[in-house]
Structure 1
Amino acid sequence: MSAQHQDRQSQQAALAAKGRLVSIVIVVTMGLWLLALWLGPKLGLPGRYAFLFDFAALAGLFWALIVSLQIRRARKAQRGNE
């Protein structure tokens, strides 16, 4: 195997790992958000905490979107170099 082929495989593996991280962040963010919105009223938290939970979830999902776009651009650049 050539060094270039190994480098391409390592880049693909890194992008795959990044994609798995994004999917984990999305699932955990949504799970925690739903749990927080369900537990909030049961614990007697004021309604303003719902906005805090919403903004935290939006931040996590925004991060996932940005990283997903970076992955897409990197894969598109890899296809262009082949």
Structure 2
Amino acid sequence: MSEDDFLKAVNHALDYGYGPHPTSSLLARRVVLIGDAAHIVHPFAGQGVNMGFGDASALSRIIAEGVAVGTGIGEV
């Protein structure tokens, strides 16, 4: 195998699909996808845990705001 063919094969093997979300909806009934379940990030980007922390923070803020005005946790 030539060096060029080898590099092409390695690049093809390392292809990683990117997109906004792995699913069309992050919310279904009383389930919310956050973190790695909600984002497509290259595993070597080092962003997964930070996105998860951001998602957890945003979700907890939304739930707290809803509960503060009397909305049930399952209704938020």
TM-score range, shorter chain: 0.3 to 0.5
Flag the structure with more relative contact order, 1 or 2, with Cα contacts below 8 A and sequence separation at least 6.
Answer: 1
Q: TM-score, normalised by structure 1?
A: 0.36
Q: TM-score, normalised by structure 2?
A: 0.39
